[in-house]
Amino acid sequence: MRFRNDLTWADVTPRPLWLNRRVMLAGAGALLATPALATPALARIEAAKSAFSTTDAPNSLEDITTYNNFYEFGTGKEDPATYAGGLTTDPWSIVIDGLVDKPGTYDLADVMKDQPLEERIYRFRCVEAWSMIVPWIGFEMAGLLNRVGVQPGAKFVAFETLVRPEEMPGQSSPFIEWPYREGLRLDEAMHPLTILATGLYGEPMPKQNGAPIRLVVPWKYGFKSIKSIVKISLVAEMPKTTWNMLQPGEYGFYSNVNPTVDHPRWSQASERRIGSGLFGGRQDTLMFNGYEEQVASLYAGQDLAADY
Ligand code: MTE
């Protein structure tokens, strides 16, 4: 487990932040049934279990932390695990600005204040037609937005990742116009499935997965789930997003998982579940990645082939 070498409590949110009435730290010996988790140096975070979780079996911690997309560290799937160790994630602050009542630069501790952490086991579907099941730890984006006060003119939320080329070697390549950017419509951001994740598998977020805080929007392709967030802006107009800027014909703003709308260069009808071997594990992709019941109403009346 490469990330274990570089992940300590000093790298993440100060310990008391993980505590609230629904969250407690278990001793290092607790819940170590999975051999991959048997690292005595790290305390576990026990969060409330969420009713939003899937019952699908989670991928291994190894799969989740060694097969990543985080282009700030390179374009190879193993690059984030290899190079993210040098990223400084403490201190960490997030600028919240635009059409909000309480704009400001918030410490991570303040962003997380009073937000109940939950374990959410979500299906995660990458646009590259692979998928994983990830036990995230996080809190609802709506909780934070309600706290900072969204003003009536706000229609979208724009997100930006850290720019720090000295710690993010992939940023020396100009093929992406850094920072990595993403966006959601306000109702998508307010949806209870949308979380800001600060950990996974009961531990603080591994750096390659977007420490210390990243977005997770489970009914959209994985690239919407922006990592290592430093800026959240409430805006009136649809914001620019990295993949749409790069390839507008291939990546739209919405990017909802949709087996009936193919990527121009490949089918989206099925997916390969990571960890199930080269030949096994191909399965049908579900509309909205299986979250149709919860989110289809957000798009009532929209042509999802046009709004891809
Ligand atoms: N966020 C940033 N800042 N940079 C990235 O390159 N890649 C996206 C998304 N968020 C990316 C990012 C893509 S394409 C995917 S599939 C997911 O992160 C992968 O998340 P994971 O590595 O935690 O599985």
Q: Dump pLDDT digits (tens) for 32-79.
A: 334 444 444 456 787 999 999 999 999 999 999 999 999 999 999 999
- Assess whether the C-beta atom of 70 lies below 6 angstroms from ligand 1: yes
Other Cβ atoms within 10 Å of 190 Cβ, number: 18
**Is the shortest distance between the CB of 111 and ligand 1 below 6 Å?**
no
Domains along the chain with CATH numbers: 9-297 (3.90.420.10)
CA distance 163 to 291: 33
CA of 156 to the centre of ligand 1 (A): 20
- Measured from the Cα of 80, ligand 1's closest atom is 22
Mean pLDDT of the chain: 88
**Per-residue pLDDT tens over the stretch 108-166:** 999 999 999 999 999 999 999 999 999 999 999 999 999 999 999 999 999 999 999 99
For residues 255-261, give the mean pLDDT.
Answer: 98
67 lines ligand 1 (CB under 6 A): no
pLDDT of residue 16: 36
Atom of ligand 1 lying closest to residue 180 CA: 3
Mean pLDDT calculated for residue range 207-230? 98
pTM exceeds 0.85, yes or no: yes
Whether 53 contacts 122, CB under 8 Å: yes
Residue identifier of the C-alpha nearest atom 9 of ligand 1: 223
Least confident of 16-25, 103-112, 173-182: 16-25
What are 82's strand-pairing partners? Answer: none
Mutate to test the pocket of ligand 1, among 133, 213, 227 (most ligand atoms within 8 A of CB): 227
Probe residue for ligand 1, chosen from 59, 214, 225 as the CB with the greatest number of ligand atoms within 8 Å: 225
Place of tokens 């060694």: 66
